[in-house]
Amino acid sequence: MKRLRVALLALACLPVIGAGVPSSTLRVAAVTGAAGACAAPAASLPAGERAYYDHLAKRLEVKVLRCPVADATAAARALAANELDLAVLDPAAFAAVQATTRSILTVRSQGGVNRIPVVLGVKATSPVKTLADLRGKSLVFGGRTPAALSLPKLALSQRDAPAAFWGRELFAVDGDAAVSDLRANKADAMVLHAAAWQRLCFPRSPKEAPPCDDLRIIAKIRPQADRAIVVRRDIADETRYRLIGIHMPMHLENAPAFAWATSWSPNAAEFQPAEPLALVATR
């Protein structure tokens, strides 16, 4: 917990490095079914919504405006037109504005796994170049834990490679066994979560030869997020970093604000930082 507080403090205090000057106002999209002018949050708003705006205003030390929009698509258009600074978008809304906006936060549900990358690997001598080349081939998973099985299955299915894509699925005891199966030609490919790949395949010292130089990564992918907090790409870096640092501990610091801010995500546990294209199922 102490390390988490230090990390969050560092995020909140990072200086501006390159992208604009922090604004004195933060314009937040509120999906209401109808468009409206940005305005200070009214006292009549639900307590959780008001708590969220107040929390952001206090921590960022800026004026927060509530900006009614019809839906996520309208919010995306307003973000791209510099009429908003922050909105919750889904993949469909984000697709039209991904060149000018970026995801910064997603939500992890209670009992859910983190959106860590998964690594799809083959033998270095394999003719396979892309995921598509593996259709009808065999795949070995590095265990049956959520991170080793359900996470890779989700990421692969979002890239048009569900169970039916594979000729055969194998389930090794763990990552070590999956690597052994691949090397022994018991499978055409293996999939591991990134932490397992790093443990098995990164050299422990600069003098050590890469332990997996006989293997080759053909894809490193994350599960696509179903929704994310999105900002414009030209937002000041300081503001972006501080928004991440403010949201991450919100479930501990301001439960009503967190509950309202994650009402689109049933059983939400916490906010997590997200890569810019978290809403895109890249292949």
Q: How far apart are CA 235 and CA 127, in angstroms?
A: 43
Question: Which conformational region is residue 137 in: left (phi greater than 0), alpha (psi within -120 to 50 degrees), or beta?
Answer: beta
Confidence tier at 10 by pLDDT (50, 70, 90): very low
pLDDT of residue 12 exceeding 50: no
Question: Right CATH number for 118-221 from 3.90.550.10, 3.10.20.30, 3.30.360.10, 3.40.190.10?
Answer: 3.40.190.10
Angstrom distance (rounded) from CA 153 to CA 181? 19
Nearest 5°: the CA angle 53, 72, 158 is 115
C-alpha span between 124 and 214 (Å, rounded): 5
- Encode pLDDT of 185-226 as tens digits: 999 999 999 999 999 998 877 777 789 999 999 999 999 999
Whether pLDDT at 19 is above 60: no
Over residues 64-88, the pLDDT tens digits come to 999 999 999 999 999 999 999 999 9
CA distance 48 to 260: 5
Percentage of the chain exceeding pLDDT 70: 92
107, 270 in Cβ contact below 8 A? yes
Query: 231 pLDDT band (50/70/90 cuts)?
Result: very high
Q: Which fold has domain 2-112+225-273?
A: D-Maltodextrin-Binding Protein; domain 2 (3.40.190)
Residues in the chain: 283
Give residue-wise pLDDT tens across range 89-133. 999 999 999 999 999 999 999 988 888 899 999 999 999 999 999
Cβ-proximal residues to 283 (8 Å cutoff; 6+ apart), any chain: 131, 159, 160, 219
Say what the pLDDT of residue 66 is: 98
Token reading at 80: 């791209």
Q: How many angstroms separate the CA atoms of 122 and 66, rounded?
A: 50
Q: Which helix (H) or strand (E) holds 107?
A: strand 101-109
Q: Which residues pair with 217 in a beta bridge?
A: 121
Q: What is the pLDDT of residue 228?
A: 97
Q: How far apart are CA 198 and CA 261, in angstroms?
A: 34
- Confidence (pLDDT) at 192: 96
pLDDT band at 22 (very low <50, low <70, confident <90, very high): low
pLDDT at 1 over 90: no
Q: Which residues pair with 39 in a beta bridge?
A: 66
* 15 pLDDT higher than 80: no
Question: Over pLDDT 90: what percentage of the chain?
Answer: 82
As given in the structure block, the two tokens for residue 185 are 């030609």
Q: What is the full DSSP assignment across 246-260? A: HHTTHHHH-HHHHHH
Instruction: Give span(s): CATH 3.40.190.10, the chain.
Output: 118-221
| pLDDT for res 85 | 97
Mean pLDDT across the chain: 90
Mean local confidence (pLDDT), 143-172: 95
The confidence score (pLDDT) of residue 14 equals 40
- As annotated, the residues of the chain forming the CATH 3.40.190.180 domain(s) are 2-112+225-273
